[in-house]
Amino acid sequence: MDKSQVLAEMQAARDEFDALLRQLSDEQMLDATLDSGQSVKDILSHIAAWERRCARWLADSLRGEMPERPEPGATWDQMDDLNESDFLRAQADTLQEAWDDYHRSYLELFDVVNAMPEEDFGETHRLSWWEGRPISDVIAANSFEHYREHAEQIQEWLKRKQPVTGFVESNGTNCIMK
């Protein structure tokens, strides 16, 4: 993907995710019945944390520095611990604080991606931390693919929360949903 495609995909996926989030009430946003007792508010904070990380990696690279990935002092084997630490750090945030952070982190990542030279999007080996992958893969994993992953999670959660409706008829031994 070239830079314009990455930026367009980021914006389109974010718009889709935001449209899903706008359908939720504050009560739903704060309902901690998602995986591991988390809420949609917690997902906002989780996405923001990974967008900030990715923006930092890219900004470090633009300055000619080697980013510490995923986080200074952490390894990829510790990703679950890192996510848990992010969750605990943001748990006391208000819904408005989570929204604000979510919006800021997106703009930060979008601006850094936009500042990158176009040629970075065609190379796979310019910087060793890219590990032979196109930089668009790194950006996708921390933006548009990440939004879609959590959109699916939220949609499944909403389906589970929907009350069962319809008429029930008994044939004497079984109840039949119509």
Threshold 0.75, pTM exceeds:
yes
- Residues 85-113 have a mean pLDDT of 96
Neighbours of 119 (CB within 10 A): 10
Count of structural domains within the chain: 1
**Which value, in Å, is the radius of gyration of the alpha carbons in the chain?**
20
Paired strand residues for 169: 176
119-177 tens-digit pLDDT? 888 766 666 777 778 889 999 999 999 999 999 999 999 998 876 555 455 555 554 44
Residue 53: which CATH number? 1.20.120.450
Residues with Cβ within 8 Å of residue 177, at least 6 apart in sequence: 164, 166, 167, 168
Question: Which residue range(s) make up the domain with 147?
Answer: 3-177
Q: How far apart are the C-alpha atoms of 123 and 141, rounded to whole Å?
A: 17
Alpha-carbon distances, residue 45 vs 98, 103, 119 (angstroms): 6, 10, 32
Residue with more model confidence, 102 or 165: 102
- What integer pLDDT is reported at residue 70 of this predicted model? 85
pLDDT in tens, 74-90: 888 888 888 888 898 99
